[in-house]
Structure 1
Amino acid sequence: MAGPRLEKGIWVLVADGEKALFLRNVGDALRPNFEVFHELANENPPNREQGTDQPGRYFDAGMPNKSGFEATDWHRIGKERFAETLAERLYKHAHAGEFKKLIIVAPPLVLGKLRKELHKEVAGKVVEEIPKTLTNHATWDIEELLKSAVEE
């Protein structure tokens, strides 16, 4: 087996930019049984509801032309802030000694931001990172997908 085992007690964080599921394996490595022990939700409305201003404009140096700034993507910023919240929550749990190993399942954008924000204490406990969106799957589907992913 190349990847980590889904041993009893391992934690799995399944997250995207709007929802996070904290799972614990109460089964064994051959028959994982994930239990959701905490769920977080992030209120992140679309950009049109978060910002109303038009992007600013500026004059190019030495040119009579105007250029526009890129519009702020408030929705993406909300996802990144949610990743920061998750990193803080994981640190509190790790510092309290509540888990020894962690698997993180998140889409690439959230996974990248989460990786940057993780404290060393938490990063040392991460045994696998899977770049997928599984937050809307049932726990038994997540069990099967992770079981096949870590066996590869």
Structure 2
Amino acid sequence: MAELKKGTWVVVADSEKVLFLRNMTDHENPNLDVFDEDEQDNPSDEEQSANRPGRMKDNGVGQKSAYQDTDWHELAKDRFAADLADKLYAEAHKGSFDKLIIVASPQVLGVLRDEMHKEVSDKVIAEVPKTLTNHPVNEIEDLVKKELDAA
């Protein structure tokens, strides 16, 4: 069973926002302190697209088909998770944390697993596949403790 020991970092992320918390007490009575946060300004794909999708000629006379346009909104979400993996690597390399718990939506967890450096993944003691970025810190404390106790 993983424990939420003093000094453990808890990173709570979705595809547009991340909270960095540090446990100030112990597992029995966790007290998470938000020491940093980051939020991405990610407008809808429609607002980010420059123009209409390109067209190509089809086999039929006078027929054209549209190319599928890039979904800039989704790309930005994936990039946000990859940037988070880079930031965690920089902090791990500096020795900022020994233990890490990641609480993130399943999509973000997947990208983080793919992008996370071994130096960071070796410090991960638990993953919680939930989106809690907009929850109050006391609820995050309770949910993380409950998840760790159940594991």
- Among all aligned residue pairs of Structure 1 and Structure 2, give the percentage whose two residues are the same amino acid: 53
1:121-149 superposed Cα distances (whole Å, 9 cap, x missing partner): 00111111111110000110000011111
Number of the residue aligned with 1:8: 6
Q: How far off is 1:94 after superposition?
A: 0.2
Q: How far off is 1:67 after superposition?
A: 3.6
AA aligned opposite 2:121: A
Structure 1 gaps of 5+ residues are none
Number of the residue aligned with 1:83: 81
Q: Which of the residues 121, 124, 142 maps onto 2:122?
A: 124
2:38 aligns to what SS in structure 1?
strand
Q: How far off is 1:68 after superposition?
A: 3.0
Number of the residue aligned with 1:114: 112
Query: Are 1:70 and 2:72 matched, yes or no?
Result: no
1:135 aligns to what SS in structure 2?
coil
In the comparison of the two structures, how many residue pairs are matched? 148
Q: Distance in 2 between matches of 1:122 and 1:66?
A: 49
Number of the residue aligned with 2:95: 97
1:86-141 superposed Cα distances (whole Å, 9 cap, x missing partner): 11110111001111111111111111111111111001111111111100001100
Q: Distance in 1 between matches of 2:79 and 2:96?
A: 24
Cα 1:59–1:124 shift into 2, 3 Å: farther
1:84 aligns to what SS in structure 2?
helix
Q: How far off is 1:57 after superposition?
A: 3.0
Q: How far off is 1:66 after superposition?
A: 4.1
Q: How far off is 1:150 after superposition?
A: 0.8
Q: Distance in 1 between matches of 2:107 and 2:70?
A: 17
Q: Distance in 2 between matches of 1:59 and 1:107?
A: 41
Question: Normalised by the size of structure 1, how large is the TM-score?
Answer: 0.91
Q: How does 1:48-63 map to 2 (within 5 A)?
A: 48-59=46-57, 63=59
1:49-69 superposed Cα distances (whole Å, 9 cap, x missing partner): 101322223345xx4364433
Structure 2 gaps of 5+ residues are none
